[in-house]
């Protein structure tokens, strides 16, 4: 191999090495630039918050609870932390927070809805379908049943509220005719739920287990003229005058 050809090959190898170095340098610079734009610059920073799903609450209340600042890079916002702060509000049943590039945070909430009301220390409180006592009313809300729960132990009381709420929610959604006859729901434990009907009638419901089956049985049982209907064991219903 001549000296000229050897020199040409050596020079060509150097050019290829420098080209690779230049390419990798460019890649590193581009990655660093993209990272800076996303994580530190104001180009993709938060400029607005959009709230959807609120009914009894205001957007400003939810935005304030979210605890986020305009100008913060969108990617650096701690989404789980924002969701946790909003979820801690007593009227919020669920919340989803999403980034909407390039400058917006979207907050979608589902507010709790009362299925009944109860008196807690003389204060009227709303009860949602999961048995959560979540809001205060100035007076007994029209159209809602009263839940009369007489349980002292905190844990047992909550279990009872959950069972009572589940039964009320079932009746509300599956049998509006029966709902019109129910005046209140009482319980001294999660296994001793009773429906107080019009005309002084009572339904012994028991626990919230097998509630759909109990509802079917009760529809037939109410055709009998009686004062007390027992569907706590739906396969062995009973009536008493």
130-141: pLDDT as tens digits? 999 999 999 999
Q: Note whether 157 and 149 are within 8 A (CB).
A: yes
Cα–Cα distance list, 100 to 40, 84, 117, 208 (Å) = 18, 19, 38, 42
DSSP assignment, residue 140?
A: P
For the segment 3-10, the average pLDDT, to the nearest whole number, is 60
Give residue 42's pLDDT.
73
For the segment 174-189, the average pLDDT, to the nearest whole number, is 95
Give residue 92's pLDDT.
97
User: How far apart, in whole angstroms, are the C-alpha atoms of residue 74 and residue 76?
Assistant: 5
In tens, the pLDDT along 189-226 reads 999 999 999 999 999 999 999 999 999 999 999 999 99
Q: How many CB atoms lie within 10 A of CB 84?
A: 12
Reported as a pLDDT band with limits 50, 70 and 90, residue 125 is very high
Q: How many CB atoms lie within 10 A of CB 120?
A: 12
DSSP assignment, residue 236?
A: S
Q: What is the mean pLDDT of the chain?
A: 90
User: How far apart, in whole angstroms, are the C-alpha atoms of residue 65 and residue 61?
Assistant: 6
């Amino acid at each position: 191999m001549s000296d000229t050809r050897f020199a040409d090959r050596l020079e060509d190898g150097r050019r290829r090495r420098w080209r690779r170095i230049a390419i990798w340098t460019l890649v590193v610079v581009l990655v660093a630039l993209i990272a800076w734009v996303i994580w530190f610059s104001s180009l993709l920073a938060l400029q607005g918050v959009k709230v959807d799903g609120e009914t009894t609450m205001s957007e400003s209340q939810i935005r304030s609870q979210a605890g986020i600042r305009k100008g913060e890079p969108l990617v650096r916002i701690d989404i789980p932390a924002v969701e946790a702060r909003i979820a801690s509000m007593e009227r919020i049943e669920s919340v989803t927070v999403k980034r909407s590039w390039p400058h917006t945070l979207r907050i979608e909430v589902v507010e709790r809805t009362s299925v009944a009301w109860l008196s807690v220390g003389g204060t009227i409180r709303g009860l949602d379908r999961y048995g959560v006592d979540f809001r205060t009313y100035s007076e007994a809300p029209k159209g809602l049943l009263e839940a009369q729960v007489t349980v002292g132990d905190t844990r047992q009381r909550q279990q009872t509220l959950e069972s009572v709420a589940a039964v009320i929610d079932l009746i509300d959604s599956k049998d509006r005719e029966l709902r019109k006859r129910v005046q209140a729901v009482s319980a001294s434990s999660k296994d001793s739920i009773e429906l107080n009907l019009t005309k002084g009638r009572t339904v012994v419901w028991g626990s919230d287990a097998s509630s759909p089956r109990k509802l079917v049985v009760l529809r037939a049982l109410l055709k009998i003229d009686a004062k007390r209907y027992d569907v706590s064991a739906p396969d062995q219903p009973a009536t008493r005058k």
